[in-house]
């Protein structure tokens, strides 16, 4: 039987790749806050600007996109994330296209992260009451395809070479996973308040609730407990971790 992969940690620069503003805050922001607190650098890459994230017919995608970008930047300021890039693909229609893969590869080559933190593209549904958003799966698929082989191999993108962007190998990859699928749990108990505050910067998605609301953290704590599984941690985020040679 194969030995379990040893978790070596994310290195000094973590790049978070997600579909929408708030995706990272739900599933990854505790780890982000913890790693930044340890002196590591974190950058965000968002495939869309979440511009369809409203049921209000008067709030058009043109108006919604900038609102959600500003909310994401505010959440990143709470966490201490240094750089936030929006690729601007249309919300709700994201597919793992060659254009998306190239655009993610470009940012990986430019930022040279030691770790990529993204979605699990195989996560189709949970139980019988939750279907994962197709944009989340597309973002995870495109990010993995960019990590291997597209950002890594010299001849895949002559246009990126012409831009001066040489290949970059990402050694550590983390996919957000349920506790049963995870091989790494990150203990976020100490940074739970920061995660709650960052999530509530996404005001348009919070039904008017702010971080000061006494019940604001209930769901985030419940999620943290669920993700901790039987790890023995109070609150955790759970990942499938890969160490690439
Ligand atoms: Zn989302």
Fold of 13-29+44-234: Rossmann fold (3.40.50)
pLDDT per position as a tens digit, 80-121: 999 999 999 999 999 999 999 999 999 999 999 999 999 999
| Domain spans of the chain, in order of start | 13-29+44-234
Q: Separation of 163 CA from ligand 1 center, angstroms?
A: 31
- Using the predicted structure, report yes or no on whether residue 49 has a pLDDT greater than 80: yes
pLDDT value, residue 245: 86
Instruction: Return all residues near 160 (Cβ < 8 A) that are at least 6 apart.
Output: 102, 105, 106, 109
Q: Separation of 4 CA from ligand 1 center, angstroms?
A: 31
Q: Separation of 23 CA from ligand 1 center, angstroms?
A: 5
Contact 227, 238 (CB under 8 A): yes
Half-sphere exposure of 97 (CA within 13 A, CB side): 10
Q: Separation of 8 CA from ligand 1 center, angstroms?
A: 28
Q: Return the minimum-mean-pLDDT range out of 23-27, 96-100, 126-130.
A: 126-130
pLDDT per position as a tens digit, 143-201: 999 999 999 999 999 999 999 999 999 999 999 987 788 999 999 999 999 999 999 99
pTM of this structure = 0.96
Instruction: Return all residues near 52 (Cβ < 8 A) that are at least 6 apart.
Output: 61, 64, 90, 91, 92
Mean of per-residue pLDDT scores for the chain? 95
Q: Separation of 154 CA from ligand 1 center, angstroms?
A: 32
Share of the chain above pLDDT 70, in %: 99
Q: Separation of 224 CA from ligand 1 center, angstroms?
A: 18
Q: Separation of 162 CA from ligand 1 center, angstroms?
A: 33
Taking residues 43-72, report their average pLDDT.
Answer: 94
CA distance 151 to 190: 34
- Using the predicted structure, report yes or no on whether residue 2 has a pLDDT greater than 70: no
Tokens 């500003």 -> residue: 70
CA distance 81 to 75: 9
């Amino acid at each position: 039987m194969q030995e379990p992969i040893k978790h070596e940690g994310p290195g000094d620069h973590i790049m978070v790749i997600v579909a929408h503003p708030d995706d990272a805050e739900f599933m990854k922001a505790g780890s982000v806050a913890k790693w930044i607190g340890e002196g590591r650098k974190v950058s965000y890459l968002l495939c869309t600007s979440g511009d369809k994230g409203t049921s209000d017919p008067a709030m058009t995608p043109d108006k919604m996109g900038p609102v959600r970008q500003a909310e994401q930047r505010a959440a990143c300021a709470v966490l201490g994330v240094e750089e936030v890039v929006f690729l601007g693909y249309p919300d709700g229609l994201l597919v793992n296209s060659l254009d998306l893969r190239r655009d993610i590869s470009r940012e990986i080559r430019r930022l040279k992260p030691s770790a990529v933190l993204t979605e699990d593209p195989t996560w189709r549904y949970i139980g019988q009451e939750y279907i994962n958003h197709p944009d989340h799966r597309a973002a995870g698929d495109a990010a993995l395809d960019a990590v291997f082989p597209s950002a890594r191999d010299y001849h895949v993108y002559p246009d990126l070479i012409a831009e001066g962007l040489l290949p970059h190998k990402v050694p550590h990859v983390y996919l957000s996973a349920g506790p049963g699928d995870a091989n790494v749990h990150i203990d976020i108990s100490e940074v739970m308040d920061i995660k709650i505050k960052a999530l509530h910067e996404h005001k348009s998605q919070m039904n008017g609730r702010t971080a000061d609301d006494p019940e604001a953290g209930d769901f985030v704590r419940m999620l943290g407990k669920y993700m901790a599984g039987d790890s023995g941690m109070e609150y955790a985020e759970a990942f499938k971790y890969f160490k690439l040679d």
